[in-house]
Amino acid sequence: MPAIRKQSPVSSELLPEFLVKHLGRHGDGVAHYNGKNIFIDGALPDERVLARVEGERGYIHSILDPSPERIQPPCPVASSCGGCCLQHASETAERTWKQDLVAEALAKSGITKSVVDPVISVPYGTRRRTTLSWKKAKSHFVMGYNARRTHHIVTTHTCMLLTKAISEASAVLREAIKDLVPSGKGSVSICDSDSGIDVVLDWVGRPDLQALEVLAALVHKHDWARLSLRIGTVIEPVAVQREPIVYMGEHPVRLPPGAFLQPSREGQEVLIDLVLKELKALSGPLLDLFCGLGTFSLPLAASLCRPVTAIDSDQKSVEYLAATGMVKALVRDLFRNPLLPSELENYEAIVLDPPRAGGAAQVLQIAQCAPKKGPKKIVMVSCNPFTCARDARTLTDAGFVIEKITPVNQFHRSMHVELVAVFSRV
């Protein structure tokens, strides 16, 4: 939360006063000034503030009338770290904003009659994966999250959102690699898998033997599962004590380095429960598109005892999912080569969990299915309300009806929100 930006002294008499109307999609307070919207960092709805204006952005000088939803940010680096945008708002205000954000996205796509359920939130301290930036110039080393809208790295020694294991691993890595990595910049991804910490560290050039020995020693000393280096576009394991695995429901799957994973175990279970609830009354074969490692495929196959076909473009994820023997897993790029109506007509229901860009090409093919031949129910899991709303409009224009929309907050204090949208067609 970039609360009150440090700046040269300015007389408050020279600054305009704003009444904040609402929160924008990035968590900024939105106010009107000279006929246009101004986005004010750290402001909340109904607050009166004095702010300095730069283009379309406003920076608070002072808060004249604070909102009752304003709180003291619980994070010590809230004013500089760009990881969160709403550290200064109560949890009630955050949930309301995210529910409204989903409704706004739908309205912008022309869908105004759907009711958005209250937000389901997972506990703090449950995020099991994170990516931090690092930069080294001569003897100066910094590792943390980027400041908002910049590439400046803010050193973050702790984060209230992460699991304890990730916080401890990031502290160890910061100390260990500051004198080890060559000059340059990169990132380090840390995953708290169900069999231990899994690290992917960007490396500039080829590591020497000493660096490899130090990194391998970290894995053994701290009982991590695996540490890999990303050199260019290639990820190479340095030390593996045991294969990282994750559970999809009750079913273990091997975890490739850098693979997509729901950000928390608790959030994943909420999403699985929501999907299973909608499909348990059906009896036909199921299709899981953008399946990843089988977040939904495996629980569906096990709980509903029906054939499940799972498709994704990531070859390694599909390989590991297929190795479970529970589903038919196929590699296919659904953006460039979506399944056609003739390939979809034998499935009673489809689960889609596309990336932030949404699944426009595939959704268009679903919409073109003949009503009596195509799937009767669609469950879409999305981490972007606006691309989800775009795809929802494609389905509703084809005769699908939105039954239910449930937001899930796995990204506390940030602009991100997950959602599960259910569609049916008679």
Structural contact between residues 194 and 245, judged by C-beta atoms closer than 8 angstroms: yes
Q: Choose the catalytic residue: 191, 291, 383, 388.
A: 383
Q: Six-digit token pair at 138?
A: 């001569």
How many residues appear in the chain? 426
75 is catalytic: no
Q: Which residues lie closer than 8 Å to 331 by C-beta, 6 or more apart?
A: 311, 312, 313, 314, 315, 318
- Annotation: binding site for S-adenosyl-L-methionine: 262, 290, 312, 353
Q: What's the Cα-to-Cα distance from 339 to each of 362, 363, 364, rounded to whole Å?
A: 7, 9, 10
Query: CA 109, CA 158: separation in Å to the nearest integer?
Result: 39
Structural contact between residues 370 and 350, judged by C-beta atoms closer than 8 angstroms: no
Q: DSSP E strands: which ranges in 89-139?
A: 120-121, 129-137
Q: What residues pair up with 60 in beta bridges, in sequence order?
A: 51
Question: Residue type at 53?
Answer: V
Taking Cα atoms as reference points, which of 210, 299, 194 lies closest to residue 251?
Answer: 299
What does the longest C-alpha to C-alpha distance in the chain come to? Answer: 71
Query: CA 426, CA 372: separation in Å to the nearest integer?
Result: 8
Q: Six-digit token pair at 92?
A: 């009630």
Structural contact between residues 408 and 270, judged by C-beta atoms closer than 8 angstroms: yes
Q: Six-digit token pair at 48?
A: 């009166």
- Annotation: binding site: 262, 290, 312, 353
Active site residues: 383
